[in-house]
Structure 1
């Protein structure tokens, strides 16, 4: 049974934690690897360098939207392809465990599950722009 008194706060914690994770992931690309370095890495994978800038923009805007609770369900679903791309291009060949060299696909897969759960459960408490109007 779902406790309707606390479920909105659980969704808020999930939304906030996923948003902070995307903000941290963006920050790593922006401040540590730099946008140009990230573009070079994407190119080394055979991807267009411009995709790195698109990915960083999506991570930043998605993080902000999740943290603030703006169209949470839509944003959660929209961020999943980034993680699928990371699994396919970088992490799959490293195996399952994220502690493997180049990080396995364990963490991005779990991150996708968290986004799917958030898309199903909804915005949670303190959302600025709920995905679906409340009755």
Structure 2
């Protein structure tokens, strides 16, 4: 493996792990009901919260294991853009602002674009679409 492959692995696993952490938070801390209620409070159908949990779980696992890596990254980008538009965009740039700004979700979008461009590297379980 090359330095490029190690870099791709590190990026995939770190971003995928963060998506799993956020899915865990929505499912086990906020609960699916709390998550759907929150999404409804944003003016979107509550079931989008369940879609977010599923996308973060499946996408996070796909990134970590290198399964359809490019596809997983591309499909997670709209989720993060929605986070910026519906939640964090109105709070300014800095994530330390009240309610969290859009700085952190924007970094996620950039990381996902990079993953979509470079793929999974050699350290992938299923490099198809990787």
Band of TM-score, shorter chain:
over 0.9
2: CA distance, partners of 1:40 / 1:132: 35
SS in 2 for 1:97: coil
- Is the 8 Å Cα contact of residues 83 and 109 (structure 1) preserved in structure 2? yes
Which residue matches 1:40?
A: 37
More helix by share: 2
Which residue, 78, 86, 102 being the options, matches 1:105? Answer: 102
Partner of 1:92: 89
Q: Please say if residues 69 and 129 of structure 2, whose CA atoms lie closer than 8 Å, have aligned partners that are also in contact.
A: no
Displacement of 1:78: 0.6
RMSD: 1.3
Task: Please give the TM-score of this superposition, normalised by the length of structure 2.
Answer: 0.96
> 1:54-65 counterparts in 2 under 5 A?
54-65=51-62
* Secondary structure, aligned partner of 1:23: helix
Per the normalisation by structure 1, the TM-score is 0.92
Deviation at 1:58, TM superposition (A): 0.7
Larger Rg: 1
In 2, Cα distance between the equivalents of 1:99 and 1:90?
A: 14
Residue 50 of structure 1 aligns with which residue? Answer: 47
